[in-house]
Amino acid sequence: MGQIHYEEIQASSALNHVSNMGFRWSLNPYRGCVNECHYCFARRFHSLFDLDPGSDFASVVMVKANLPELLRRELSRVSWRHEMVAIGTATDPYQSIEGKYNLTRRCLEVFADFYTPIGLVTKGTMAVRDADVLAELSSRAGCTVCFSVTTLDRDIWSRLEPGTPPPRQRLKAMERLVARGVNAGVLLAPVVPGITDDRANLEEVAKEAASHGARFLGSNVLYLKQGTKEHFLEFLEQSYPNLTEAYRNIYPASYAPRKLQDRVRLRVQEFKVKYGLEDMGVARKAGVPAYGQKTLSLAP
């Protein structure tokens, strides 16, 4: 990845109303993401701004500079019912630029002030910085933090998501939040067919999640919608060329075949039982999103 261009913008609203997702409101402090995950479903949204979902997604990041002030105004309305808000539905709220702008932290402080529960998804270890406000939110209104971990294999990790913190560092960050009383756990997501869906990889993530004190483990299989799909197929051509044709067959539409999803679900459930991991129900109630799917693919 080359030089990153950050552009401050003035958002017109803080909360986004969503439907058919298990939650009604979302918030994203940034648009674009330096994590550079090749599978990210949010890549396709960059095309709405005449930007390339491939090269521009990780190199052009828009910063919603006025977001905390907007959020405070919106939560002050008499009509606000203190519903759960999902954070990080499109881009990581703890990508590196957060260290400069503190938009995520400032928004969390607003949610705490207005007793509004949140569910947050991240690959960022910077979440530990906000352990104090996340713990306060947990006691005041409810707070679920999901750390996305696809694999612990360093080679696969560096190919799939080259701009992210190492997976084991994420697990340590999660452990520190749990120690502060935050409901934090792992999303084994997305499970990437042919790359991270083997038993050994799924079990290793489940085992290490449990050993680091995860409060839950959830999973879902890769979702490829137009916009992201084209970029991911280009990535496969370069990194896993033997899988390209199989992916064209597996993903004629956005979702993997039900048989494949069921196989992953049963494997993950097996390891949840084996390692004593709590069901994902707590996070499901919080409406935590997972890479563009309508709901998390959860074991019953």
- pLDDT of 217: 96
- Residue that has been written with the tokens 């090269």 in this structure: 55
Torsion, Cα of 202, 36, 119, 276 (10° steps)? 10
- Residue that has been written with the tokens 């539409």 in this structure: 253
Query: Quick one: the chain helix, strand, coil %, rounded to 5?
Result: 40, 15, 40
Structural domain boundaries of the chain?
5-285
Write down the CATH superfamily of domain 5-285: Aldolase class I (3.20.20.70)
Name the average pLDDT for the chain.
Answer: 89
In the predicted structure, residue 42 carries a pLDDT above the cut 90: no
- pLDDT of 52: 60
The model carries a pTM of 0.90
Q: How far apart, in Å, are the Cα atoms of 88 and each of 81, 121, 298?
A: 21, 5, 19
> What does the pLDDT average to over 85-96?
94
> What does the pLDDT average to over 181-196?
97
